[in-house]
A and B are shown apart, each in its own frame.
Chain A
Amino acid sequence: MLVAHIAVKPLLPQGMKRINWLLGGWSGVVFLFLYLPMIPLVVYSFNASRGGVKWGGFTFGWYTALISDHTLRSAMSNSVFIAIIVTILSTLLGTLGAWMLYRYTFPFTRAIGTMVFLPMVIPEVIMGLSLRLFFSGINQNVGDHVDWFALGKLSVIIAHTTFCFPFVMVAVQARLAGLDPALEEAALDLGATPSQAFYKVIVPYLMPAIVSGALMSFTLSMDEYIVTKFTSGPQSETFPIKVYGLVKTGNVASANAISTVLIVLTIGLVVVSETLRRKRV
């Protein structure tokens, strides 16, 4: 009995307890810092005064207003639509690009490999401005015949894809670094064509990286503001642009309400995916 007791609770060196307390306290502060700002946001979404800081009484009005406000819905559906297309394009481009750089050698392979990551590090304002100039240039030349490249959904999709696909590429390249070349050779040896070897052996091996890159692209595209501001037109108002506009024009309460809905949805998703994961284990 006594032995078991000692085994469960090993004696701590002097002072260790204090360090544990400090570490615990520090983690607590970090969590407060992360989550505290959300509390006033949720509280003020029930504020009857539209401007924000001053309390004007309790109301559900902003939530009912959300339901009837179709401009918010259309901004949200624009955002989701753009993010889905961007995710598909970036995943394709990023995966194939990483494979190409890994598998083949050609002139300037390394230079290309480095240049691809420029969109990840370049300041977003500069990227936005250069894309705006790019689309202006195209439109001034061909705008009278085709208006495909007028600022709108397509320009935003192109812009987002430009900075999203390198993230997929990085993830896939990291996974490729650990790839055993024998896998592909074995597939070819056993009678697979090169494309079969790619789809049946390499792609499944890369799947975790592809999925995490795709999720990253989706999130990046959903909440991007600066580049979108430069490249969007009247038909492509996205959710972040709409919310910023609401705050700028003093509709702080509406913005709080929609943010609260998103927070609750996100927490719900996390909880659901966690329970599913636990069940499987």
Chain B
Amino acid sequence: MKKLLSILGVAAAMVIGNITARAADKEINLFAWSEYVPQEVIDGFTKETGVKVNYETYASNEEMLAKLKSGAVKYDLIQPSEYTIEQLVKEGALEELDQSKLSNAKNILPEFQKMPHDPEQKYTVPWMAGTVGIVVNTDKVKDEITGYKDVFQEKYKGRIVALNDNREIASWALNTLGIGCNDFSDENLEKIKPLISEWMPLVKAFDSDSPKTALQNGDVDLGIVWSGEAALCYKADKKFKFILPKEGAHMFIDSLAIPKGAPNKEGAMAFMNYILRPEVSKLISEKFPYTNPNGEARKLLAKEDMENPASFPQGQPKLDTFRAVEDDVITKVDKLVSDLRSGV
């Protein structure tokens, strides 16, 4: 009986250890976009440093913010986009980075540094940049598509996939009206209402996680999607053409940042420096072909990848980043688009 009890005791101790222990210096909690961090990169980092990466995913900046702010779990690394970074910096929710530990930061091209959301590059390390543009299956769609208005036509009803992101959708309407994607005054919101209510019934699927699937399966022939998804379509089949809307498009910069109070800042910094290595950054680019901000990594990429028009847009497209706006404005935009999507 005594022996049994001691065995049980040891087992219980092991179980409790497994449940609760989070060796603060041997693990990092990474909260990042789905379909954005290759498993090889995580495994490579763990193999080299012995630090385990717990990778949890989200599908929108807003989802990430909600979980982060609930405080129910502490993350060491998050991967917000530019407007969310701007907001988090304003709120003082990010740790300042110790630049002496980021020896590889010099690989980032100057045009991706010190942007308006992080003017001194104190808080973030750019992961990938990209755009939101139009993918056309040219086998099925013969008309020339140049902008949002060409996509949202009655004849394409039920043949369109769009991002499941209300701020993105609102920005398409704002750009179409020539207002600029960051001006959410009440007056402008009234103006975009008829446009969005006309567009939404035409969309077959809203998908931010993997809109390429619907395109590649032939469920839809047109899409307004992340450029990386478009690049993967093009890589698989040249019939998928990528077009940046002439009215203007969103250019995003997703970056790694450390939230205030992160338990393992050291590990997080090491991970940042690791992904800035040219050969690691190249791996990310190959798996998820967005616009790589790492100049040294670009040199390692195959010519074919560098020439992918979705990954590296040619010419002088009209591009804008998103800026942080007040919470109540975002709520208003969200409600407006949600209501029109459900046909209220």
Contacts and interface: CB of A to CB of B under 8 A. Distances in A.
B146 interface: no
Contact of A249 (B19, B20, B34, B54): B34
A234 B56 contact: yes
Given A51-B216, A136-B71, A248-B209, A153 B34 contact: no
A233 interface: yes
Contacts of A235: 22, 27, 29, 54
Interface string B36-75: 0001000000000000001111010000000000111111
B218 A147 contact: no
B73 A71 contact: no
Interface string A203-220: 000000000000000000
B282 interface: no
Given A54-B217, A152-B19, A250-B209, A233 B57 contact: no
B212 interface: yes
Contacts of A157: 19
Interface of B: 15, 18-20, 22, 27, 29-31, 34-35, 39, 54-57, 59, 70-75, 209-210, 212-213, 216-219, 261, 263
A128 interface: no
Given A51-B213, A51-B216, A249-B34, 6 more contacts: A139-B72, A148-B20, A151-B72, A153-B20, A235-B22, A249-B210
B71 A143 contact: yes
Given A250-B209, A250-B210, A250-B213, A143 B18 contact: no
Contacts of B55: 234
6 contacts: A52-B213, A53-B217, A150-B74, A151-B73, A157-B19, A250-B35
A69 B43 CA distance: 11
Contacts of B56: 233-234, 237
Interface in A139-165: 139-140, 143-144, 147-148, 150-155, 157
A221 B31 CA distance: 25
A58 to B, nearest CB: 18
Contacts of B59: 248
A37 to B, nearest CB: 19
Contacts of B29: 233-235
A245 interface: yes
Give me the 8 closest cross-chain CB pairs, A-B, nearest first. A250-B210, A234-B54, A250-B213, A234-B56, A151-B73, A233-B73, A136-B72, A234-B29
Interface centre among A148, A151, A237 (most CB of B within 10 A): A151
Interface in A45-101: 49, 51-54, 69, 71, 81, 85
A53 B209 CA distance: 18
A225 interface: no
A252 B55 CA distance: 20
B264 to A, nearest CB: 11
A135 interface: yes
Interface centre among B20, B56, B72 (most CB of A within 10 A): B72
A249 B216 CA distance: 13
Contacts of A152: 19-20, 22, 73
A139 B209 contact: no
A150 B217 CA distance: 40
A249 B209 contact: yes
Contacts of B217: 51-54
A150 B19 CA distance: 11
Given A233-B56, A235-B22, A150 B73 contact: yes
Contacts of A54: 216-218
Contacts of B22: 147, 150, 152, 235
Given A153-B18, A235-B54, A245-B57, A147 B213 contact: no
Contacts of A147: 20, 22, 74, 263
Nearest to A158: B19
Contact of B19 (A151, A154, A237): A154
A139 B39 CA distance: 30
Contacts of B54: 233-235
Nearest to B211: A250
Given A85-B15, A153-B19, A245-B57, A132 B70 contact: yes
Nearest to A232: B56
B238 to A, nearest CB: 17
Given A135-B72, A136-B71, A234-B54, A245 B34 contact: yes
A71 B217 CA distance: 26
